[in-house]
Amino acid sequence: MTSTDFPSFGGVAGSVGANLPALRGHNTALVLGLLRAAGEAGVSRLELAAQTGLTPQAVSKITARLRTEGLAAEAGRRASTGGKPATALRLVPGARHAVGLHLDRDELTAVRVDLAGRAVAVRHTPLALAAGAERVLGTVEREVAALLAGAAGPPVLGVGVACPGPLDHTSGVLHRVTGAPEWDGFPLRDVLAARFGLPAVLDKDTNAAALGLAQGMPAGAGSFGYLHLGTGLGAGLVLGGSLYRGPRTGAGEFGHQIVQLDGPRCGCGQRGCIEALCLAAVARGDLPGAARALGVGAANLVELLDIDRVLLGGRTVLDHPEEFLGGVSRALAAQARTRGGPGTRTAVSVALAPGGARTVADGAAELVLAPLFGGRPPVRQAGQGD
Amino acid sequence: MTSTDFPSFGGVAGSVGANLPALRGHNTALVLGLLRAAGEAGVSRLELAAQTGLTPQAVSKITARLRTEGLAAEAGRRASTGGKPATALRLVPGARHAVGLHLDRDELTAVRVDLAGRAVAVRHTPLALAAGAERVLGTVEREVAALLAGAAGPPVLGVGVACPGPLDHTSGVLHRVTGAPEWDGFPLRDVLAARFGLPAVLDKDTNAAALGLAQGMPAGAGSFGYLHLGTGLGAGLVLGGSLYRGPRTGAGEFGHQIVQLDGPRCGCGQRGCIEALCLAAVARGDLPGAARALGVGAANLVELLDIDRVLLGGRTVLDHPEEFLGGVSRALAAQARTRGGPGTRTAVSVALAPGGARTVADGAAELVLAPLFGGRPPVRQAGQGD
DNA sequence: CCACTTAAGCAACGCTGTTGCTTAAGTGCA
DNA sequence: TGCACTTAAGCAACAGCGTTGCTTAAGTGG
């Protein structure tokens, strides 16, 4: 055997060495993710083997462990196809819970979800993000305590926290949050983790929303963008099945994409930013104009990143869904017409992000859940380019 | 042990199951990549252990295998630091070769490189890409034969082929190449693989260039964009250390980003595309105007993807390097001024892509080499957010 | 000269997914 | 009713991975 055929770990570009526990964890998470994707119907062991590329025996061992730990269970039998009928396996959603927090500028949404990502409890409260740390932390602590009060629930894995940016996901520290500069440098993740005695994860609201939306997608949905238009305009990017945050959690700053050279001045100091165009149009009641600006930005996004789908969310969009959906799809259709010929795709689909006002909070909980469920569902089966 | 602590394979989101050979291949590729990054100076086994997170003993076993296969060798001793001096290990660059082809619209560049990515032989020939398949394939075959004629060379791993897009990297099929529509649907990768009897890989010229540039970078360079301005304008994106192609190899269509609503008509049918603005400005001798349009696009890229660095290349840029470097850095500086405050970075650096006219051909060879050398050098050591 | 430090290899080991075979539980035709 | 066949899943033995514990190699420094 020559050394020319290193499998390179399934095409994955990892950066650290892997040992046997890591191998086991990888495969376990992968199986758990497929169980989750299968939902109530469940999957048989052989189907899991086919989807993972593992042998049936390996899947049997892994699922046996998961059943022992209470994370998976049998879910009846399939109809026979000429032999012994397959036993369906499914996730036990109630085996663990997670908490998701959406700290917006004027309100707090807190959810408690099960392993399937379904909300078990929801709480809403007004919140003045700019009112100072102690005040805000007190409210957060009270709301989370109320969520966790349900006594005999399953173990809670952690707390996911979503905020307006900028912030640093890696260190869990807030930066100069627009409209609330006194939070600059505040180590929100570690402070909350200490108060709750639970692991915490911090991310931008748009990133959390995109991560949450990446679950509910049909298996193999590769890349999409979530555009959030509320008091500001931002985006969450899922590229190749995983959330792209950028080196400094700065990715997705969609609002200050310049689409009009020498256009109107934006609050950021530049000219012709999408956000400035959009907000000005909304302010003067020109919804088609706002939707058109958003649509041009969406088209640029699609062109640059070759994404499959655009999802819209945020209060302003939710207030006028038809106008924004129409405007953005017109812009994408115009773009698609520029690329005729076979082999190229048709217009990218546009839709409202499901979940409505709870999109971000659900996604925040996903920040905690996602590490349990390995990568995206398999796109390429095996056979490398040989 | 609860099940709440799945290591998730070093933070990597893989999509297929992993077995022991895959584990071994992953670690071997990782070590090989670090050996390559170390260059002539080499690395000691203990340093490799620290960088990979593997135990020294594991590194010893892996490097012993690599030495047996002739891919690695000892490279003298380090100075002692109070104990036994460390033995430096280095890659044996000449152990394998790879071929890179750059099929441009009017010329062919073919290189033969060693494992370090250094060119061992280079050939240039005029080529009319639009002259039909048989003509082009004949020229390609003759040039590659000349490159491989060196008789007693090491094994050649394969041929990397870089072309103007659009095309599909996964299937190796060309689409409607601008200016040469008769190639639409041609399975170039498989045809060349069959003719040469070697594995072949096909990708867009901009992607190949970006992949090649991602090697030579200082360890840990996360994300950058390569902007190529020649007869057209395109980009190659390296995000989080690995090349981002998009689901259909469509990512990096930078030229048709719209930066001027209702701007001048572009050949693509839309209005205000960067490419149209740039090419028109170049045509009328307005280099500052062209550089400004490019700079605004670069600033949008930086803003959206949070990248660390912008590299410029392509004939038009190489003809007037100072003007384009200046214009783009001014645009990025203006953007950086909009983001004051601590925690945010300063302006992104801009530079000419090293390699000059051979950037793409070198990168094409890298299409073959990259799978041998695992992921990027480690950025985060270990300690997950706990 | 000897204690100490650092580098690297040898041997045994635990644990992974795999292989080979057996058992379980159906279908379908004579 | 019986038997051949098919498909699902588990048991047992195994090869191979990185790890652990210890030994050997080769320097520095008082």
- Element holding B30 (H helix, E strand): helix B20-38
Which helix (DSSP H) or strand (DSSP E) does residue B291 occupy? helix B287-305
Does A191 or A335 have the greater pLDDT score?
A: A191
User: Looking at chain A, how many residues does it have?
Assistant: 386
Average pLDDT over residues B268-275: 92
Residue A288's pLDDT is what? 95
Q: In Å, how far are A377, B46, B89, B214, B263 from A17, measured between CA atoms? A: 23, 14, 18, 21, 51
pLDDT for residue B195 is more than 70: yes
Lowest mean pLDDT among A340-344, B31-35, B86-90, B275-279: A340-344
pLDDT single digits (tens) B66-87: 999 999 999 888 888 888 899 9
Is the four-CA dihedral B125, B126, B129, B131 of positive or negative sign?
A: negative
Side-chain-facing half-sphere of A336: CA atoms under 13 Å: 18
- Chain A residue with the nearest C-alpha to that of B17: A52
Out of A157, A293, A341, closest to residue B4 by CB: A157
pLDDT at position A92, please? 95
Query: What are the pLDDT digits (tens) for B354-384?
Result: 988 899 999 999 999 999 997 543 322 222 2
Whether A3 sits with its Cβ under 7 A from any strand D atom: the answer reads no
Of A54-63, B1-10, B322-331, minimum mean pLDDT range: B1-10
What's the pLDDT tens digit per position in A118-146? Answer: 999 999 999 999 888 999 999 999 999 99
| Mean pLDDT, rounded, for B142-161 | 90
Please, which residues bridge with residue B56 across strands?
none
Which nucleotides on strand C sit less than 7 A from a protein beta carbon? Answer: 4-11, 14-20, 24-28
pLDDT recorded at residue B227: 97
Looking only at the bridges linking them, the beta strands covering A72-77 and A87-91 are antiparallel
Q: So what CATH class is A96-209+363-372?
A: alpha beta
Asked whether the predicted pLDDT for residue B63 surpasses 50, the reply is yes
Please determine, for residue B22, whether its predicted confidence score (pLDDT) is greater than 70.
yes
Helix axes A287-305 and B287-305, enclosed angle (nearest 10) = 90
DSSP B312-329: EESHHHHHSHHHHHHHHH
Contact A200, A192 (CB under 8 A): yes
Residues of B in contact with A299 (CB under 8 A): 258
CA distances to A255, B99, B178, B359 from B158, in Å:
44, 6, 27, 18
The CATH number assigned to the domain with range B21-91 reads 1.10.10.10
Q: Is the pLDDT of residue A376 over 50?
A: no
Domain boundaries, chain B: 21-91, 95-209+363-372, 221-353
Sheet with B107-114, strands from edge to edge, namely B119-126, B107-114, B97-103, B156-163, B200-204
Q: Are the CB atoms for A99 and A160 separated by under 8 Å? A: yes
Nearest alpha-carbon partner for B366 in B189, B160, B192: B160
Helix (H/G/I), strand (E/B), else coil: B41: helix
In B, residues 233-292, which contact A (CB 8 Å cutoff)?
A: 235, 239-242, 244-254, 256-261, 263, 268-270, 272, 277
Average pLDDT over residues B198-205: 96
The four Cα atoms A272, A225, B350, A293 give a dihedral, to 10 degrees, of -10
- Specify the 3-state DSSP secondary structure of B61: helix
CA of A74: nearest nucleotide by C1' is D9
Q: Is the dihedral of CA B195, B198, B203, B207 positive or negative?
A: negative
pLDDT in the model for residue B386: 24
User: Nearest by CB to B8, which of A20, A25, A344?
Assistant: A25
**pLDDT in the model for residue A340:** 60
- Other CB atoms within 10 A of residue B56 CB: 14
Across the range B90-117, mean pLDDT stands at 95
Distance from CA of A143 to the nearest CA of B (A): 24
- Other Cβ atoms less than 10 A from the Cβ of A185: the count is 12
Distance, angstroms, CA A78 to C1' D5? 20
Nearest residue to A143 via CA among A112, A98, A164, A178? A112
Separation between Cα atoms, residue B49 and residue B86, nearest integer Å: 13
Asked if the domains A21-91 and A222-353 are classified in one and the same CATH topology, the answer is no
CA neighbor of A147 nearest in space, from A194, A193, A114: A114
> How far does chain A reach from its first CA to its final CA, in angstroms?
15
**Strand D within 7 A of A85 CB:** yes
SS3 content of chain B, % helix, strand, coil (to 5): 40, 20, 40
Q: Which nucleotides of D are covered by protein (CB under 7 A)?
A: 5-12, 15-21, 25-29
A7 touches strand C (CB under 7 A): no
For domain B221-353, the question of CATH label 3.30.420.40 is answered with: yes
Q: Please, which pLDDT band fits residue A250 given cuts at 50, 70 and 90?
A: very high
Architecture of domain B95-209+363-372: 2-Layer Sandwich (3.30)
Whether A7 and chain B come into contact, CB under 8 Å, resolves to yes
Measured between alpha carbons, how far apart are the two ends of chain B, in Å?
A: 15
Closest CA relative to residue A51, chosen from A73, A70, A33, A25: A33
Band (B14; pLDDT cuts 50, 70, 90):
very low
Cα A105 from chain centre: 21
pLDDT at A251 over 70: yes
The reply to whether the CB atom of residue B85 sits less than 7 A from any atom in nucleic acid chain C is yes
* Chain B residues inside the 8 Å CB shell of A176: 341, 343-344
Mean pLDDT of A86-111: 95
Instruction: Output the pLDDT for position A379.
Output: 29
- Provide the CB-side half-sphere exposure for B175 (13 A, CA): 19
Q: Does A194 touch chain B (CB under 8 A)?
A: no
Does residue B7 reach within 7 angstroms of strand C, measured from its CB?
no
Q: Is pLDDT above 80 for B316?
A: yes
Assess whether pLDDT exceeds 70 at residue B194.
Answer: yes
pLDDT of residue A179: 73
Q: What does the pLDDT average to over B183-205? A: 96
Phi, psi of A43 (to 5 degrees): -135, 150
CATH of domain A222-353: 3.30.420.40
Least confident of A215-219, B161-165, B248-252, B335-339: A215-219
Average pLDDT, chain A: 87
CA of A57 to C1' of C23 (A): 15
Residue B122: its H or E element: strand B119-126
What is residue A221's predicted lDDT score, i.e. its pLDDT?
58
For residue A3, give the nearest of B92, B215, B197 by alpha carbon.
B92
- For residue range A144-202, list pLDDT tens digits in order: 999 998 767 899 999 999 999 899 999 999 998 777 788 999 999 999 999 999 999 99
